[in-house]
Amino acid sequence: MPKLQALTEEQMRQFETEGYLIVKGVFRPEEVEEIRKTFDEIAQTTVPGYFEPDFQTETDDPLKRYPRVLHPHRFNPLAKQYMLHPGVLAILKELYGEEALAAQSMFYYKPPGSRGQALHQDNFYLKVEPGNCIAAWTAIDRCDEENGCMLLVPKTNHYDIVCPETSDSAESFTSHYVKPPKEEKPIPALMEPGDVLFFNGNLIHGSYRNKSKERFRRAFICHYANASATHIGHWYNPIYRADGTELELESNPDGGPCGIEIPPYH
């Protein structure tokens, strides 16, 4: 029997050329709803070291109440299950040309009025070598320019990883900013629930502020390394095979192009 392909030749070409690819409907509606319900429940709790909301203080910053959840796969079985989603892993296998290893999970609530994230490059933090990380960014809500969808700078997957500048803290909840090249402008990634955006670790990307009055922009985000990688940033070990077993790569503790230790913003 012929091998079933997760992606078309055109999709593979787009990822290689542009550095990103949106695949529609990778997650079924019932899977999206299960993820939403799980993280709505997590939002009512505190998980030290992973999710620490401020339930008390009155503030103009909605991200104090709804910060991102870091590494939920380390404390929530369903998050680990969806980090290892077979449909996502099948697509990653074709993008990499080899098996993918799961390195990280996150969940963003991005409530109305919250700041976005300045343009940056993921492999500055993950430091996957040799090879690169790939993100799988799953929309849990509809994502558009009003509620702070992703911004992608096409073709910057072929640019080197650079040391970032300081971002505008009024618009970005993280402090790093990578200036895009003049010849490429950021474009919005419009997505429906269950769509997955895959992008290369060198691609410059970020997000808008959520300007909506009532709409969240929830997203479940995971990062992966290629199976032939030998090193990764030490914040991300252990990593996971498709069957959920753990392994550790050699640690990359240095600050990359900055030459100093950099805290993990992912």
Q: Which CATH number fits the domain that encloses residue 138?
A: 2.60.120.620
* Residue 251 resides in a domain: yes
Sorting pLDDT into bands at 50, 70 and 90, what band is 258? Answer: confident
Q: Identify whether the C-beta of residue 178 lies closer than 8 Å to the C-beta of residue 204.
A: yes
Q: Total domain count for the chain?
A: 1
**pLDDT of 195 higher than 60:** yes
* Residue 222 resides in a domain: yes
Mean pLDDT, to the nearest integer, of 44-71?
94
Give the domain extent around 240. Answer: 9-46+64-258
**pLDDT of 143 higher than 90:** yes
* 97 to 92, 196, 228, 239: CA distances (angstroms): 8, 19, 10, 19
* Residue 142 resides in a domain: yes
Euclidean distance between CA atoms 148 and 13, whole angstroms: 27
Sorting pLDDT into bands at 50, 70 and 90, what band is 256? Answer: low
Residue given tokens 């503790």 in the structure block: 253
Is-cis flag, bond preceding 193, omega within 30? no
pLDDT tens by residue, 148-180: 999 999 999 999 999 999 999 999 999 999 999
What distance, in Å, lies between the first and last C-alpha atoms of the chain? 41
**pLDDT of 263 higher than 70:** no
Q: What is the pLDDT of residue 2?
A: 42
* Residue 184 resides in a domain: yes
* Residue 92 resides in a domain: yes
* Residue 175 resides in a domain: yes
Euclidean distance between CA atoms 39 and 19, whole angstroms: 29
**pLDDT of 191 higher than 50:** yes
* Residue 55 resides in a domain: no
Residue 109: which of 199, 210, 213, 235 has the closest Cα? 210
Q: What is the pLDDT of residue 254?
A: 65
* Residue 265 resides in a domain: no
